[in-house]
């Protein structure tokens, strides 16, 4: 499913007239099958954009196109929720409202008319996928720790088999291995979809962006300032990123320090920590001699 924004702006209704729009004249394309990471300062409009992509709110100007078709307002004039898009909210508390974890997991697919046995099967697979177990089924969501709530919130969205999975800071509050597990599972989930599954991933952790993204979208003050592949973005635009309150991943910092000190630029095919470590250590050791 391709999602396209044409000149989209959004202003929260409660904001007074003189205060400006939270999203301003966005033009961009979210292509089927890609992993797109979204970064930007606090308050730059990331969560607002995610709500627009799910159809929870409608643009106050411009158009949202789904596979080329405009997502129009409902007959009552409300925003139209897009069923194929799954959104994991920034605050998991906003997603968990049933009395038990199991009921929360079943809620979405039940509404979609999925059969009971199928729902049962899915809950068992998905609770394990997010690193929890069936022992959590009967717990009340409010009794969970911050990270446990986060995992359940992600599970409830996966239960609905979305075509586009939007994750708004899904790793905030997860322990390091938990973050890796969640990102790896999203990656595997995407790969299992035969190129049809799109991931839109909001994060403040540049290291996570370096591990997975096909493309990075940078927001600043309600506008998109970059949409680029991660290698080009982080290696060439570090000054601009810093000016936007952002940073570069540690792997790129290492490449830059190396380049600065040894006067040699190492070309890499990926910014993944493992890839960069291996390249740099190889220079320090084997090829170190002719370098120095």
Partner 1 sequence: MLTFDNVSFAYGQQAVLKNISLQIMEGEFLTIIGPNGSGKSTLSKLMNGLIQPYLGQILVDRLDTQSPQNLKEIRQIVGLIFQNPEDQFISTTVFDEVIFGLENIAVEPDKMQSIAEDALKKVGMLSYKDVEPHKLSGGQKQRVAIAAILAMKPKYIVFDESTAMLDPNGQKSIMTLMQHLHDEGFTIIHITHLMEEALKATRVLVLNGGVIVAEGAPVDVFHNSRVIENNELDVPLPLKLKGRLSEAGIVVPKQLVTLEGIVDYIWTSN
Residues that bind partner 1 (CB under 8 A): 12, 14, 39-43, 47, 90-91, 93, 143-148, 150-151, 169, 172-180, 204, 206-207, 245-247, 250-251, 253-254, 257-258, 261-262, 273, 277-278, 280-281, 284-285, 288, 292
Counting contacts by CB under 5 A, is residue 146 touching Mg ion?
A: yes
Counting contacts by CB under 5 A, is residue 213 touching Mg ion?
A: no
Nearer to Mg ion, 167 or 186 (CB): 167
Residues from 55 through 114 that contact Mg ion (CB under 5 A): 90
Q: In Å, what is the CA distance from 149 to each residue of 103, 136, 203?
A: 14, 11, 18
Could you tell me the smallest distance in angstroms from the CB atom of residue 89 to ligand ATP?
11
The answer to whether the Cα torsion of 155, 159, 161, 164 is positive or negative is: negative
Residues 6+ apart with CB under 8 A from 207: 249, 250, 251, 273
CA-to-CA distance for 242 and 82, rounded, in angstroms?
Answer: 35
Nearer to ligand ATP, 167 or 231 (CB): 167
Counting contacts by CB under 5 A, is residue 22 touching Mg ion?
A: no
Could you tell me the smallest distance in angstroms from the CB atom of residue 225 to Mg ion?
17
Q: Round to the nearest angstrom and report the end-to-end CA distance of the chain.
A: 51
From the list Mg ion, ligand ATP, partner 1, none, which binds 91 (C-beta under 5 to 8 Å, kind-based)? Answer: partner 1
Which of these ranges, 78-86, 141-149, 222-230, 245-253, lies near Mg ion under the rule CB under 5 A? 141-149
Nearer to partner 1, 146 or 195 (CB): 146
List the structure tokens of 139: 């717990």
Nearer to partner 1, 29 or 172 (CB): 172
Nearer to ligand ATP, 47 or 123 (CB): 47
Q: 10 Å Cβ neighbour count for 74?
A: 11
Could you tell me the smallest distance in angstroms from the CB atom of residue 22 to Mg ion?
11
CA-to-CA distance for 41 and 203, rounded, in angstroms?
Answer: 10
Nearer to partner 1, 70 or 97 (CB): 97
Which of 240, 224, 242, 222 lies closest to 44, judged by CA?
222
Residue of 37, 47, 190, 198 that binds Mg ion (CB under 5 A)? 47
Nearer to Mg ion, 38 or 105 (CB): 38
Provide the binding-site residues for ligand ATP, judged by CB under 6 A.
Answer: 12, 14-15, 22, 40, 42-48, 90, 143-148, 173
Could you tell me the smallest distance in angstroms from the CB atom of residue 169 to ligand ATP?
7
Nearer to partner 1, 123 or 203 (CB): 203
Residues 6+ apart with CB under 8 A from 123: 102, 105, 106, 137, 159
Counting contacts by CB under 5 A, is residue 43 touching Mg ion?
A: no
Could you tell me the smallest distance in angstroms from the CB atom of residue 147 to partner 1?
3
Positions that interact with Mg ion (CB under 5 A):
46-47, 90, 146
């Amino acid at each position: 499913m391709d999602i396209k924004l044409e000149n989209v702006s959004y202003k929260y209704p409660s904001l007074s007239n003189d205060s400006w729009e939270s999203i301003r004249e966005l033009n961009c394309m979210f292509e089927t099958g890609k992993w797109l990471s979204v970064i930007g300062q606090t308050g730059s409009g990331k969560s607002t954009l995610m709500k627009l992509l799910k159809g929870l709110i409608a643009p106050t100007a411009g158009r949202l196109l789904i596979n080329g078709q405009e997502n129009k307002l409902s007959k009552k004039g409300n925003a139209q929720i897009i069923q194929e898009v799954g959104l994991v909210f920034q605050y998991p508390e906003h997603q968990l409202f049933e009395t038990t974890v199991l009921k929360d997991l079943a809620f979405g697919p039940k509404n979609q008319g999925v059969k009971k046995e199928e729902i049962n099967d899915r809950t068992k697979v998905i609770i394990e996928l997010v690193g929890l177990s069936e022992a959590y089924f009967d717990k009340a969501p409010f009794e969970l720790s911050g990270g446990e709530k986060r995992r359940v919130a992600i599970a409830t969205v996966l239960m609905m088999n979305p075509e586009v999975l939007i994750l708004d800071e899904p790793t905030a509050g997860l322990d390091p291995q938990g973050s890796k597990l969640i990102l790896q599972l999203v990656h595997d989930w995407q790969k299992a979809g035969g190129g049809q599954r799109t991931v839109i991933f909001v994060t403040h952790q540049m290291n996570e962006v370096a591990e997975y993204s096909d493309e990075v979208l940078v927001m600043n003050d309600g506008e998109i300032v970059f949409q680029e592949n991660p290698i080009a973005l982080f290696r060439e635009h570090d000054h601009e990123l810093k000016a936007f309150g952002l940073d570069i991943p540690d792997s790129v910092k290492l490449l830059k320090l190396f380049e600065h000190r040894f006067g040699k630029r190492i070309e890499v095919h990926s910014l993944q920590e493992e890839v960069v470590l291996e390249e740099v250590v190889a220079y320090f050791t084997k090829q170190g001699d002719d370098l120095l």
